[in-house]
Amino acid sequence: MSLISYAMRGSLKNFWNKLDKISKETNKSKIVLFNKFFNCFLKIGSGYSDFLNYELYNKTAKEIKEYVTIKDQDKFYEIASPSAYKTFFTIKPNFLKNFQKYITRDFFYNGDIKELEEFLKNNKEFMIKPIDGLGGSGVDKMLTKNIKNIEEFYQKLKDENLFLEGYVIQHKDMNELCSSSVNTIRIMTYGYNNKSEILFAALRVGNGKHPVDNFHKGGMGILIDLETGKLIGNAYDKDLNEFTNHPTTKIKFDGFQIPNWDIVKKTVKEAALINKNIHVVGWDVAITEEGCTFIEGNRRPGFDLVQVLSKRGRKDIMRNVIAKINEEENTNYKI
């Protein structure tokens, strides 16, 4: 996708309507706002959603330059997590095999019908997913009892290249927060030469209406204190709606303690060193009663959740990583 097509992705009419609302809130004309969007596009490659989600219309030129856009991500991840090695992570059955040490559930992909029958026998509920989807697209929860014809279901999996995962039973504290979805932690790590560190962490929690917690599916995000594992401040969804308490369970976000936080940190820092070519990973981690388990690992985790919750541009994360790679490889990469 070209930079221009990315920037203009989405409805111009919808964007113009949202500018109308912002114009009334900020007392700035829509023409002034659109001109600022166009300048953001020229300077940092900002798209419609970037301009709105990061509230760039309220930012100074210096602040805007610190925001990561798709242009920056493309350059950064070819250095930090080259696409030549992407299938280790992006093909989800590959990921489950490569990180099976940290996976506590069954999965079915490309087996025969007897193997499917065995999976369904052992899993009364499960998740159905495309093998390489993004942002929760095509992901749904299913109940085995609702499958009326196993032969037709088997053919659907083959025709649409889908795979099945056993449903994760999350820790009771996470279930009390929101029981309609498995609420996962997004943790970005950097690993190189047997050393690893955590760059960012946030909890993603479902809104009580969907079976997934993804930001792009109505889920909310809340920052996590890296030392204590406690939530910091309020939750935000992709439309920047703010929540002090979960809209369904009414549990307060600020100060909520993530269970098994020390186990989570140890696990992701260890896993960050398994693939020697992929240095930055965005792990989706579910908390269980026994510890934690991986849902998936993202070779090029997006910065939308990171920057919305940080309320500022996070090119500092990229610069930190690039400086370490330059030191290790005696290179002079720049972002």
The answer to whether the Cα torsion of 195, 315, 88, 227 is positive or negative is positive
Give the tens place of pLDDT for each residue, 100-149. 999 988 899 989 999 999 999 999 999 998 887 655 567 888 999 999 99
Chain-wide mean pLDDT for the chain? 91
Provide the percentage of residues in the chain whose pLDDT is more than 90. Answer: 77
Encoding tokens for residue 9?
A: 């992705």
Least confident of 86-100, 178-192, 240-254: 86-100
Q: What pLDDT does 139 receive?
A: 82
Residue 190, φ and ψ in degrees, nearest 5: -125, 130
Give the tens place of pLDDT for each residue, 30-64. 999 999 999 999 999 999 989 999 999 999 999 99
What angle, rounded to 10 degrees, do the helices at 315-329 and 70-80 form?
30
Q: What pLDDT does 1 receive?
A: 47
- Residue 7: is its pLDDT beyond 60? no
pTM for the whole structure: 0.86
CA dihedral 36, 41, 43, 49 (to 10 degrees): 90
**Amino acid (one-letter) located at 335:** I
Q: What pLDDT does 214 receive?
A: 61
Q: What pLDDT does 208 receive?
A: 63
